[in-house]
Amino acid sequence: MLPGLTFILLCLLLLPFTSAKGNAVDLWIAELDSETTGISVDDPSAVTKLRSLIEQTKKEGSFSQQLYLPVRQLGILLQSQGYQDEAITAFRQLQNIVHRHYGVYSPLQLEPLSFIINSHIQKGDIDAAEVQHQFSYRVSMKSFSPNQLEYTDAKIRLADWYRFTARFDKALKLYKESALNLNKDDLRAISRVKRSIALTSYLSGRCCLEDELAAAYNIGVKAPDFDRADLERALIDYVDASYLAGSEVNLEKFSHELSKNLEPALLGFQNPKALFSTLAKSRGFKDSNAQIIMFKDTETGFSFGKNRSKPDPVSVGNPVTMCGETYRSLVKNKDQKLSIDVTVDINPQGKPILISLAGDAPPKLNRYLRTSLHNSRFRPAIDQFGKPSESTISFRQTFSANNLSITSSANVYDWSNQMVAQSCQLTELASL
């Protein structure tokens, strides 16, 4: 076994897919490597020193196992500094070492593959990341048996990737296969998969499978070691999904689990159709290829390719999210910092009654925001006894790039932001 790799491999297998946010995760691995290489990740000349150490170590052979840690540390540092092509070259060297000593389909391949995938995503090369994801999946299928955690985790990770790239039917198929393989006593994993199924169905326009979230909550109730805060979060997610779907919510039987009154909250769009309706009213946006992709063919079939070189984010705005292209069409000076004070009166069913806006934003932007809020769902205020009431929510709307790294652990009130971002991305792809 390569030095220090068993523990790292286990950690990587248990991490959920989180888009291009892997640098913080990977850097601690580089810090571990520094204990062996003697080169600190904080050393300004660390890259130069590591290259020198690698050249010295190569005297023992180009595929010496002693190369693994310094090459890994070098690759992670290059990745964190934005040198993705050089990082990929280093990670390929890790693969070659594993190939030589353990074979092409060794589970030790999974670590360098995860690094390579992360670099491709940061480059915006989704097609290249797709190739590596598929290879990683094949390695796991050949290395593990269906009764092993690693086998099921590989299915979940590929399902997460399919969800991230808007291939929802494929994602749902893998999530459901994973559920069949899970140990019936692994309640946390079962709960996680149920949340993933609910989120994926929502993103595909099929809101909201609140029954799956109710089941995830009930699993937590049965687990003696389930964290109290996690249990309450699961209950709130069930509540939010129910209001997002427009379903009847009977909280009285759950009220003993609420430690405090629930404040009103913005939940966002019920489905992509609500987003397209908002676009249509604000800028004459009509039925598009993107809408067809979202609702008629969730197996998109086209190449996601590489992101275009322009730095503009695909979606902007907090807490109300909108397509970056829409924002730039409504605001002449896209670099202008804008904020709008928003007040919304909500009825007990979670629908807006009265919307008030204050600020110096352009009229077209105000119109979009008002329409967006009108088409959105809300959680009303709910007391500790489970009774909803008319309520008011106030917030300051700002416009900046969103964090698109939404996982199955994300709160339901974050789901709409991810759906908007994916819809915006598909709209841009369909217009190419």
Instruction: CATH number of the domain at 74, please.
Output: 1.25.40.10
Q: Quick check: is 252 in a domain?
A: no
Whether the pLDDT of residue 432 is over 60: the answer is no
Q: Quick check: is 353 in a domain?
A: yes
pTM of the model: 0.81
How much is the pLDDT for 34?
Answer: 80
The answer to whether the beta carbons of residues 315 and 322 sit under 8 Å apart is yes
How much is the pLDDT for 222?
Answer: 80
Question: 99 pLDDT band (50/70/90 cuts)?
Answer: very high
The answer to whether the beta carbons of residues 329 and 367 sit under 8 Å apart is no
- Higher pLDDT pick, 236 / 260: 236
Q: Quick check: is 180 in a domain?
A: no
Q: Please give the single-letter amino acid code of residue 201.
A: S
How much is the pLDDT for 5?
Answer: 40
Q: Quick check: is 152 in a domain?
A: no
Q: What is the pLDDT of residues 308-322, one digit of tens each?
A: 444 567 788 889 988
Q: What CA–CA distances, in Å, run from 417 to 1, 97, 319, 321, 359?
A: 43, 41, 8, 6, 23
Question: 80 pLDDT band (50/70/90 cuts)?
Answer: very high
Q: Quick check: is 248 in a domain?
A: no
How much is the pLDDT for 3?
Answer: 47
- Placement of tokens 């009213």 in the chain: 281
Whether the pLDDT of residue 167 is over 50: the answer is yes
**What residues make up the domain containing 333?**
266-430
Q: What is the pLDDT of residues 19-65, one digit of tens each?
A: 334 455 577 787 777 878 888 888 899 999 999 999 999 999 999 99
Domain ends where: 143, 177, 206?
Answer: 143
Least confident of 115-119, 146-150, 257-261: 257-261
Rounded Cα distance between 273 and 420, Å, is: 10
Residue ranges in 184-334 assigned as alpha helix (H): 187-203, 210-222, 228-245, 272-283, 289-296, 324-330
The answer to whether the beta carbons of residues 94 and 111 sit under 8 Å apart is yes
How much is the pLDDT for 165?
Answer: 86
How much is the pLDDT for 2?
Answer: 52
Mean pLDDT, the chain, rounded, equals: 82
Domain ends where: 123, 143, 163?
Answer: 143
How much is the pLDDT for 128?
Answer: 93
Most confident of 132-146, 185-199, 256-270, 410-424: 132-146
Domain count for the chain:
2
Q: Quick check: is 163 in a domain?
A: no
How much is the pLDDT for 189?
Answer: 85
Q: Quick check: is 159 in a domain?
A: no
The answer to whether the beta carbons of residues 380 and 371 sit under 8 Å apart is no
The answer to whether the beta carbons of residues 411 and 238 sit under 8 Å apart is no
Q: What is the mean pLDDT of residues 363-391?
A: 92
The verdict on 421 and 279 lying in the same domain is yes
Phi first, then psi: what are they for 262, rounded to 5°?
-95, 125
Q: What is the mean pLDDT of residues 295-314?
A: 48
Least confident of 99-113, 148-162, 194-208, 284-298: 284-298
How much is the pLDDT for 14?
Answer: 32
Domain ends where: 94, 109, 143?
Answer: 143
- For 291, the 3-state DSSP assignment is helix
Handedness of CA 228, 234, 236, 239 (dihedral sign): negative
Q: Quick check: is 362 in a domain?
A: yes
Whether the pLDDT of residue 281 is over 90: the answer is no
Helices (H) and strands (E) in the chain, counts: 17, 9
How much is the pLDDT for 406?
Answer: 53
Q: What is the pLDDT of residues 186-226, one digit of tens each?
A: 888 888 899 899 999 999 989 988 988 988 888 888 877 77
Question: 86 pLDDT band (50/70/90 cuts)?
Answer: very high
Provide the percentage of residues in the chain whose pLDDT is more than 70. Answer: 81
